[in-house]
């Protein structure tokens, strides 16, 4: 599996009101959703564990 490193501004972290781990989990989820919408990722491949972090 490959790793994607994404730089984001501190403002995004501050305005989200989330911890860095929660924000990164949400961004990972949103990327998977978008790739699924574009039919570039299957539902099975989009499966990842985010149960330890709240996305709300």
pLDDT at 2: 83
pTM of the predicted model, to two decimals?
A: 0.70
Q: What is the pLDDT of residues 1-54, one digit of tens each?
A: 788 898 999 999 999 999 999 999 999 889 888 988 998 888 777 665 554 444
Could you give the residue ranges of the DSSP H alpha helices within 2-43?
10-16, 20-37
pLDDT at 54: 47
CB atoms within 10 A of CB 34: 11
Do residues 36 and 46 lie in contact, with contact meaning Cβ atoms separated by under 8 Å?
yes
């Amino acid at each position: 599996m490959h790793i994607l490193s994404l730089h984001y501004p501190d403002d995004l972290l501050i305005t989200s009101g989330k911890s860095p781990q929660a924000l990164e989990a949400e961004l990972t989820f949103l990327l998977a959703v978008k790739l699924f919408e574009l039919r570039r990722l299957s539902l099975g491949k989009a499966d990842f564990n985010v149960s330890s972090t709240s996305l709300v």
